[in-house]
A and B are shown apart, each in its own frame.
Chain A
Amino acid sequence: MELEKFSYDNKIVRNFAFATMLWGVVGMLVGLLIATQLFAPELNFSIPFLTFGRIRPLHTNAVIFAFVGNAIFMGVYYSLPRLLKTPMFSKVLSNIHFWGWQLIIVAAAITLPLGITTSKEYAELEWPIDIAITLVWVVFGINMIGTLIKRRESHIYVAIWFYIATWVTVAVLHIVNSFEIPVTLFKSYSLYAGVQDALVQWWYGHNAVAFFLTTPYLGLMYYYLPKAANRPVYSYRLSILHFWTLIFIYIWAGPHHLLYSALPDWAQSLGTVFSVMLIAPSWGGMINGLLTLRGAWDRVRQDPILKFMVVAVTAYGMATFEGPTLSLKNVNAIAHFTDWIIAHVHVGALGWNGFLTFGILYWLIPRLWKTNLYSVKMANVHFWIGFLGIVFYAFSMWFSGITQSLMWKQFNDLGTLQYPNFLETVLQIVPMYIIRAIGGTLYLAGVVLMIYNLVKTIKQGSFLAEETAEAPALHPFKDPFKKGTRHRWLEGKPVYFTIASLVVILIGGIVEFVPTFLVKSNIPTIASVKPYTPLELQGRDIYIREACNSCHSQLVRPFRSETERYGEYSKAGEYVYDHPFLWGSKRTGPDLHRIGGKYPNSWHYLHMENPRSMSPGSLMPPYPWLLENDLNTSTTAAKIRALRKIGVPYPEGYENIANDELVKQADAIALDLQKNGIPVEPQKEIIALIAYLQRLGTDIKVNKQTAQK
C-alpha cells in the first residue's frame, strides 16, 4: 500500500514562536532605550555597555536576526512540511538549528555591548560568530533541501521558492561580506579596504534587507495570507512572475546606498536604475496580496489577523515605493544620512515584518494549541495601538529627516551656511525624537499585549506536539514532453544540484579572486596617503569599539553645503588603508572625515569627558572610561602583521618597533595636554583616540597637491 502516514513536528514551530516573541520584546526594548537616549543621553547611566554606539547594533541585530529571523524559521518550519506533505528532513538538525541560532543571538547580546564589533552594519558580529552563523545556516539549508528532496507533493509552491532564494542568497552574501583576517579571538580586520569595503558592505547591506527581510516574508505572505483568508492567492501566475523578476533584479540594487560617495558614477547610476526597476515586481506582489482579499473586506473588518496582514502588505508596498524614490540621486542628496532613512526602514520593519509576524502568530498559536484565540478584542486593540505607533514613528522621522537636511543645506544671503553649528540642526528635531519614542512605546505596548493574549490562549488550549497526516508517496507523473534521457542529470535532484554547484563554484571563484584583486587594487592613488601609525590604529579600533560611526559619518559629499561645513569632499584614494571603512550611514552628529587638526587635543579630551562642556545641549554621551582605561598595546604587533598581510605597506619587522613608536606619539600628545592644564598619563585610551581623530582626513592636506580620484 502506497499511502504513507507521518506527522508534522509542531514543537520546533512552538520553540521558534516563543523565541520570536522573546527576542522581539528584547530588541524593541533596546530600540526604545536608544531612542530615548537621543533626547536624554544621561539614560546610558554612564555605563559603557549601555551607550548608544554599543547598543544600537544590538538593537538592529536583535530585531533583524533574532526577532525576524526566528519568525522566518517559525513560518518555514510550519509551512514547508505541510506544503511538501512530509515532515522536516531531520528533527536533530531542526533542533541544532534552533539552539544554534539562539546561542548566536546570546553571543551577539554579550559581545556587542562589550564593544566587540566589526563596525559593518548588520554584520557587526566578530569572526567566530560569523563562522557559527555560517554553520547554522548550512544546517538550515540541509534540513530544507532534504525536506524538498523527500517531498510527497511534486509541485513546489511559490512560497518555497522564496525560502530557497532566501537561503542561497543570504549564504552567498554572508560569506562574501565576512571575509576578514582575524587578529585576536575578538578582533578582525575586513579583507577589503575603503571604497571597496563600502561597496561590498552595501551590496551585502542592501541584499540582506532584500533577502532576509523581504523574500522570506513574501514566502510567508503567500502561504499565511491565503490560509488566513481561506481563499487562494489572487493570481498564482502573478506570484510566480513576482518571484522570478524579484530574484533577477534585486541582487543588483545594492550600490544605491553609496550615491554621491566615492563610488564611481556608473556604479551609482546602476544602483539607481535597478532600484527603480524593482518597483514593478514589488508592487505586483503587493497588489497580488491585497487582491487576494477582494470580496472579503467585510471579514477584514472583523478579523484582526487579516487586518495585520493587510497593513503589512500595504507597508511593503509603501517601503518598496519609498526605497526606489530614495535611490534617485536628487532625493538621496536630501535623505541620505538623515532620519528619513530611519523612517523608511522602520515602515518596513514595524509595518511589513512586524505586523505580518503578529498576524501569523495570532493565526498559528491557536492552531498549535487546538483552541481559539483568547481574546479577539485584545488583538484588535493591539492592532490599533501598533498602527498608531507606526504612524507616530514614521511621520516624526520623516519630518525630522527633511527638516534637518534642509537646515544643513540652508545658505544665507552672504553665501555662508545659515546654521554653521551642527548642533542647532540637532536641537531643532529633538521634539521629533520624543514623538518617535512615544510611537515606539505604543508599538512595544502592543506587542506585550499580544504576548499576554497568546499566553492566555496557550493556557486554555492543549499543545499538539505531533500533527499526524497522510499522503500517497510521490511518483512524479511522467511528463509527456520529456522523451529521451537528456537533462536527466538536471532532473535528478535539481535543488540540491543548483545549490551545491553554486556554492562550490562560488568558493572556488572567491579564493581565486580575492588575493589578486584586493591587494593590487589597494595601491594608493594619492601619494601623500600613508598607513596609520600604531597609536592611530589603536585609536581607530577604539573608535570602532565605541561605534562612533553609528552617529558620525566619515564621508564629505561633493555638495557646497558639505564642503562649506566640513571641508574638502572625500576622495576614494584617502580610504585605501581603512580596514574596515567607517563611512557610517547616519549623521546624528557631524561628519568627522575632516576633523583632523580642526580642534586642539585638549578640546577633544574635554569633549570626550563631557560633550556638553564643549557644545552645550549636545546629545552625545560622555565617555569617562576612555580617560581611565589604559590602552591595551599587547595587540599592536598582531594588528600590524595582519594588516600587512592584506596589503597595508608596513615595512617588514615594523611590528617589533611599533609599540615604541606608539609610546613616542602618545607621550607627545600627553605632553601637549598637560601643557593645557590637563593632567593625563600617555597610556590612556583617550590619547590613542585623539591621535586618530587628529589624523583623520589630514593626509591630503600634507602637501597641497590636489589629489585626483
Chain B
Amino acid sequence: MALRAQPGPVETFVQSVVSGVLTGSLYAMIGVGLTVVFGVMRIINLAHGELVMLGMYGAFWAHALWKLDPFLSIALWVPLMFLGGMFVYRFLLRPIIPGGELNTLLYTAGLSLLIANLALFAWTGDYRTIKLPYAITPLRPFGIAVPIPLAIAFALAIVITAALYLFLSRTDPGRAIRATSQNPEAAALMGIDVERISMLTFGLGSALAGAAGVLLAPSLYLYPTVGEILIAKCFVIVVLGGLGSVSGAIAGGVLLGLVESLGAVYVSVAYKDTIGFIMFLLVLLFRPSRLFGVGKS
C-alpha cells in the first residue's frame, strides 16, 4: 500500500497509540515476573533485568547456532529458566531472606552485577540483534506501521498472560500462590507449604522474565548490561499497578507505553521519561488503595 506523503493528525495519533500499546505490552511482560515474586516473597529482585537479558541471549544463540526462530525457541527457554529460577531461590536466595528485606535487595543487586559481567566475559560486549527475514517490512494496515516481530510478540504476550491468569485462578498451585501473596501466615495455617510455593513463584517469575526477553529480542538489541535500563522501566510499571498485582503490572505496562509514546509525540521527546516518572509519583501519592492492597512492608 503506497504511503501518503504527509500523514494527517488522526493518522499520527493512531500511530502513536498503536506503537505505545505494542511497546507497552512488552514492558508489561517484563513487569509481570517482578510483581509476582514481590507479591509472594516481598522481594524486589534487582537481578530481574539480567534474567530478561538471559532470555534475550537464549533467543539469540538459538537463532545463531540452530537457526531457531525466537518465537519457537521460547518453548525451550521458558522451562529452563523456570528450573533455573527455582535453583537460584533454593540455593542462593533462601539463606539470605532472614537477613531482612534490605539485605535481600542488595544481594540481588550483587547477583545482577555478577550475572551481567559473567555474560560480558562470556559473550563480549558486542551489540547483537536477531535478524529475522520477515522483520524488515512492517505491516501497514490503514497506513499504520506495525512491525511484524512486535505484533507476534504482542500476540504471544496475550497468550502467556491468559495462561498465567488461568494458572493462578484455576490450578491448585496457582491458587496457593495467590493465597500466600495475600497473607502468608493464613496460607501457612491452611496447610500451604510456603517455602515450596516461594520456590515455585521465583521459578515462575524467572520463566516470565525469560519469556519477556525472548519476545523482546527481535525488536531490540542485546548487550550484557541491557538489564539496567529494563529494570528501571520495570519499577515504574510494577508500582503503577500495585506491587504484587499481575493485572496491575499489565495495565501499568500498557499505560506507560502509551504515556511515553503520546508524551514523546505531543509534548517533548527529551522529557518523555520524566513524564513517566511524574505519573509514577502521582499514582503513588493519590492511589492509596493500591498501596495497602498488598499489605504493609
A and B pair up: no
